[in-house]
Structure 1
């Protein structure tokens, strides 16, 4: 019988900027790799911060997710190794910012990433994490069509839940029209300060509103998480003992555990 193993694909997305989305993609990817999973990060953000944060300089991005989506470049030609074992990246450049205009009338425009991630080159991975842009653009819709589930970083600050309803509506629309299996993996609280009453209130509001969708793991405010990208590495490589690194290890373990439980027969 042929091997039908395929990667589990998570879109890391929130249309609100500055919530720790790229930090989560990079460090969750590194944590999953540390736990033995083979991981690909797909940088779908024109800012290319995940690519920079994993050591792929702008001058070394000859084949990127732009070529993958708009020029039919094979995924195998886009994937790059990182300095972390079992962690690879498909890098991005600012060329992606023109995607909505260039694909505006193309009939299959929302399925381009799904098709690209159906190739043999994707099948060697256990997890694929898509780092989405901070908007509900055509790039984000491509990610939602291609993925199995959505992971939403939610900053523990005032107005955190504002705008989340629009993302949920977009997820519902994509589920109804293009990806019936799409689900919410969970919401992860980021930049959490347990000494701060506001962080505690945001958590209480999020859990009251979203229930079990809010993951148990909270990502703290941590200077090592902020410093690591300037050294072009995940926090787990920069300072594996830091609270930020340990939190992402906990998040990876929680996600793996949740997935294992869902696979158990009823």
Structure 2
């Protein structure tokens, strides 16, 4: 772990490449629960589709002119602009996604190739020649034998003081997801309690193991959030399977509630909604576990 990473706030990536798991809803409500417990939270939307940005009422930011999160990631001279991207919300600060992030997979792939060409003597490629294939990336953008640390380096530029950083990853495997996990070194895994989730979880475990091996890091698992749980035999079987696979980690159950979608549509977590929701206690439990695992001091909030 870099010294910059060690000095930064508790950082957590909410990730699962299977679409439709409610990953973004989980991420927003975990952030809301941490805020409810008195933590200063920064939410980073790394999904090029900008679902969290939309769900927090920031569609205008998604279509903003450069520099955007894409530039912060891929242009060394723009890393410090991350502070300028931050938008205030009643529950958290947000680094919004951008339509420009749709180009990030290609750009990060070029960055990785540049790193490879710079550090492997057997590779007969001039790293500068790859610049013509990129939008922002140059050989100076990468400094090691990989480019997975670009978000990590951008977060090191933050001037604000946060207790916890929540990163909402893309709902697919690729460089963006690897970059988000690398920066966090810890993951919270949302999963639906249906049979198709088994394959997605297995792929995620393999993906994290491959990343750990490639860049020599350790990624911790905070826990698993079983989402949209109902009272069916399939749900019960999947909860048992999750408990077996993640026997060393907490498995939380979030029941299917319309109120979660209503809060999303209103641009908030359920903690800022007008009506209380019984799932608040689950998200508060998750927030407490995050505080415990990262050693974040809990601050009582007075009304």
Using the size of structure 1 for normalisation, the TM-score is 0.88
Q: How many residues align?
A: 253
Q: How does 1:201-240 map to 2 (within 5 A)?
A: 201-213=237-249, 215-239=250-274
Query: Residues 1-266 of structure 1 correspond to what in structure 2 (within 5 A)?
Result: 6-58=8-60, 61-62=64-65, 63-71=67-75, 72-73=78-79, 74-84=81-91, 87-106=92-111, 107=115, 108=142, 109-121=147-159, 124-178=161-215, 180-193=217-230, 195-213=231-249, 215-239=250-274, 241-260=276-295
Question: For residues 28-79 of structure 1, what are the alpha-carbon distances to aligned partners after superposition, in whole Å with 9 as ceiling and x for unaligned?
Answer: 0011011011111100001111111112123574453223212424221111
Aligned with 1:163: secondary structure?
A: helix
User: In the TM superposition, what is the alpha-carbon distance from 1:206 to its structure 2 partner?
Assistant: 1.1
Work out whether residues 54 and 83 of structure 1, in 8 Å CA contact, stay in contact via their aligned partners in 2. Answer: no
Classify 1:110/1:258 alpha carbon distance in 2 versus 1 (closer, same or farther; 3 Å): closer
Alpha-carbon distance between aligned partners in 1 of 2:20 and 2:277, rounded to the nearest angstrom: 21
In the TM superposition, residue 26 of structure 1 has moved relative to its aligned partner by 0.6
Higher mean C-alpha displacement, 87-96 vs 251-260: 251-260
Query: 3-state SS of the aligned residue for 1:185?
Result: strand
CA distance in 2, matches of 1:37, 1:88: 11
Structure 1 residue 199, shift from structure 2 partner: 1.3
- Tell me, which stretches of 5 or more residues in structure 1 are unaligned? 262-266
Contact 2:13–2:166 under 8 Å retained in 1? yes
**Cα separation, 2, equivalents of 1:141 and 1:240:** 37
Q: 1:91 to 1:158 in 2, by over 3 A?
A: same
Decide which moves more: 229-238 or 135-144: 229-238
CA deviation vs aligned residue, 1:163-213 (integer Å, no higher than 9, x gap): 2122112211222232523222222111112x2222111100111222122
Mark the CA change 1:7 to 1:260 in structure 2 (over 3 Å): closer, same or farther. Answer: closer
Unaligned runs of 5+ in 2: 1-5, 116-141, 297-303
Which range moves more in the overlay, 195-204 or 60-69? 60-69
How far does residue 243 in structure 1 lie from its aligned partner after superposition?
Answer: 1.9
Max radius of gyration: which structure? 2
- TM-score (structure 2 length as normaliser): 0.78
Offset, 1:145: 1.2
Bigger mean CA offset, 74-83 vs 102-111: 102-111
Distance (Å, rounded) in 2 between the aligned partners of 1:103 and 1:155: 30
8 Å Cα contact 1:224-1:244 kept in structure 2? no
